[in-house]
Chain A
Amino acid sequence: MNTTTFSLSAAAVGLALLVFAHWLGVDYLYFAGYTILQFIVLATAWNILGGYCGYVNFGSAAFFAIGAYSSVFWYKFYPLPVPVLIVFGAIVSGIIGLGTGYLTLRLRGAFFSIATLAMAVVFQTLVVNWDYVGGSRGAYIIRPETVEFAGLEVHYIEYLFALMLALAVIALITARTIERSQLGYGLATIRDDEMAAEACGVPTLRLKLIATTLSGAFMGMAGAPFPYYIGYLQPQSAFGLEYAVNSIAMPMIGGTTTWLGPLIGSILLGSAQQYATVTISSAVNLLIVGLMLVAFVIIAPNGLIGLVQERRRARKQP
């Protein structure tokens, strides 16, 4: 399937989902669906760097929160429409990704991971101390009841759901395009053997920086509408560890080498968590995610996709 066909069919699936959700017309579906879509964007974004290039980013929560807080900043300064905020969130998070990457990606892989972990703590410190965006008290965002969208009066939550759906479609198309492009092959050589790639003339640092920037930008995009979704944003929820762990666990459980892995992982884990949060408790569901992450990296290092591929290969060679 070439890229245009894929993009068109992805958009068609997205549109069909939107129409279906509108036809059902249940508000809870929008709330739950929004969370799952948000995880699709985060997991796909993480995978652009982590899965394709092999560099582990532990700071997904920070990029997400930076996107969210850039929206809060604009909300206090001059309220802009959410799609514009998404662009701003992407720019800020992308630049921060580029900066962190520039300082640490020249060194061994582990340093980048440690720096992203530390970065999350530092940005949380900055936000806690920045009174303009609410500081540690948090910030209230009053979301309008409805919004004019393409000449229609729609519920705000439906509007946010549609935006996040569009973002998820864009993220998946981008990931798949990268996978099949020169950039993707370059990243794969870095993942397999960075020394050899460098020796063959692959501009490793430049490719890594592109991947980090893109990945950070998508995480920022996922975070930008979040204040409008949640209504009250506080540092502890924006920088929550569940974003960091989920955006690693979902691609790892789905499979990291293709765009399909993060998608499958986030749909499975995301809906399981929605279910567990409602029926059991949110702490237990995080425990389950952590245990599944550990179990999967030990038992099925290539995720669900890897399991299916192995099964298929085994059938071909009796």
Chain B
Amino acid sequence: MDISWDLLINAIVAGLLLGGFYAAVTAGISISFGMLDIVNIAHPAFVILGSYIAYYVNINLGIDPILVSIIVLPAFYALGALVYQVYYVSFERRGQESLRGLAFFFGLLFVTEVTLILVFGVDYRYVDAAYIGPSLHFGMVEVPLRMLVPCVTALALFAALELFVGRTFIGRAIKAVSQDQLALQLMAADPIAIKRIAFGLSIATASIAGALLIVIQPVEPSVGRDYIGRVFAICVLGGLGSMPGALIAAFLVGVVESLTSTFYGPSWAPAVSFGFLLLTLAFRPAGLMGR
């Protein structure tokens, strides 16, 4: 078979860069779905919300989109804590999270998307920053900065989260909740408070992921839906609750998607994640690095 080598290498590099970004989107799901067992399918909607906030501030005040997303982190954290509180009081406490909790998040996803459509319309929006446009060249490999900057930011975010969960007191408490909630209660700790913090964190990551998304590509409100299957596929493939697993899976999905769109056309790329998801569920539901 005749494969053009520079096309192949460029596709793999692009896939790795894309995978880094996917890791940022998956980080939040990895906490909420993987550790807290909350099936937050509205997560991509929060990511899009982050994109639009970055866009709005960037266009009106000219502030760098990634900087904006870091500034609004506390607001996203508070939003996440609020959503969890509603979720806990209405569903988790009554033991109805499986059916009604899912419908609740689906409703949130839908409301966020339609509200954004009503406010901003369905046009594609994009941001301005110094690193959008130029690329670095290493021999025949081209690395666009608009992909590199999000990838590096995403990896930094991922490393920070991994350190936080593994090394700090609260982070370990979050791990404890994910392992045995009852035991935590017996030790006189409040699992609800810890889960609220964790869910707040997971939504906070959506702010950064959103800014990265709008740096990578123009955004319109329904883009988020394409990410639902993708992020859950990555999360399941990596193994629920395993952050390193999610990172590997994100790179894997990124590379395979990039190869697919290079050699078969971009319109086939969305099918890749579903293939991964189904294969994982069918053959190894525990994922790559599952417990």
Contacts and interface: CB of A to CB of B under 8 A. Distances in A.
B281 interface: yes
Given A117-B228, A121-B226, A129-B268, 12 more contacts: A56-B103, A58-B106, A115-B281, A118-B232, A118-B273, A121-B270, A252-B103, A289-B110, A290-B111, A293-B110, A297-B107, A301-B90
Nearest to B229: A118
B233 A118 contact: yes
Residue among A50, A122, A284 with most chain B CB within 10 A:
A122
A48 B266 CA distance: 37
A114 B235 CA distance: 11
A191 B100 CA distance: 12
Interface string A115-127: 1011101101110
B94 A301 contact: yes
B44 to A, nearest CB: 10
Interface in B182-239: 222, 225-226, 228-229, 232-233, 236
Nearest to B264: A129
B236 A111 contact: yes
B268 A54 contact: no
21 contacts: A104-B281, A110-B39, A110-B102, A113-B41, A114-B41, A114-B236, A118-B229, A119-B274, A122-B270, A122-B275, A125-B268, A125-B270, A245-B106, A248-B103, A252-B100, A252-B103, A286-B110, A293-B103, A294-B107, A297-B100, A301-B100
B99 A50 contact: yes
Given A121-B270, A125-B270, A293-B103, A283 B118 contact: yes
A291 interface: yes
A19 interface: no
Interface in A275-304: 283-284, 286-287, 289-291, 293-294, 297-298, 301
B39 A114 contact: yes
Question: What are the 4 A-B residue pairs with the smallest beta carbon separation, nearest first?
Answer: A118-B229, A294-B107, A290-B110, A293-B107
B270 A291 contact: no
Interface of B is mostly: helix
B267 A129 contact: yes
A284 B278 contact: no
A2 to B, nearest CB: 30
A128 interface: yes
A291 B267 CA distance: 33
Q: How large is the interface on A (under 10, 10 to 19, 20 to 34, 35 or more residues)?
A: 35 or more
A122 B111 CA distance: 23
A113 B39 contact: yes
Interface in B103-117: 103-104, 106-108, 110-111, 113-115, 117
Nearest to B285: A107
Interface of A is mostly: helix
Nearest to A122: B274
Contacts of A111: 236, 281, 285
B232 A114 contact: yes
A287 B270 contact: no
Contacts of B268: 125, 129
A121 B277 CA distance: 13
A298 B274 CA distance: 31
A118 B235 CA distance: 13
Nearest to B235: A114
A275 to B, nearest CB: 18
Given A58-B41, A118-B273, A297-B104, A241 B110 contact: yes
Contacts of A103: 278, 281-282
B111 A287 contact: yes
A109 interface: yes
A31 B110 CA distance: 26
Given A283-B114, A294-B111, A298-B104, A241 B225 contact: yes
B179 interface: no
A284 B265 CA distance: 36
Contacts of A129: 265, 267-268
A122 B102 contact: no
A271 B17 CA distance: 48
Contacts of A294: 104, 107-108, 111
Contacts of B129: none
B105 to A, nearest CB: 9
Nearest to A54: B99
Nearest to A107: B285
Contacts of A107: 281, 285
B135 interface: no
A113 B102 contact: yes
Contacts of B99: 50, 54, 56, 191, 256
Residue among B98, B106, B281 with most chain A CB within 10 A:
B106
Interface in A62-104: 103-104
Nearest to A103: B282
Given A129-B268, A297-B104, A301-B94, A245 B229 contact: no
A54 B94 contact: no
A27 B222 CA distance: 34
A297 B110 contact: no
Interface in A244-274: 244-245, 248-249, 252, 256
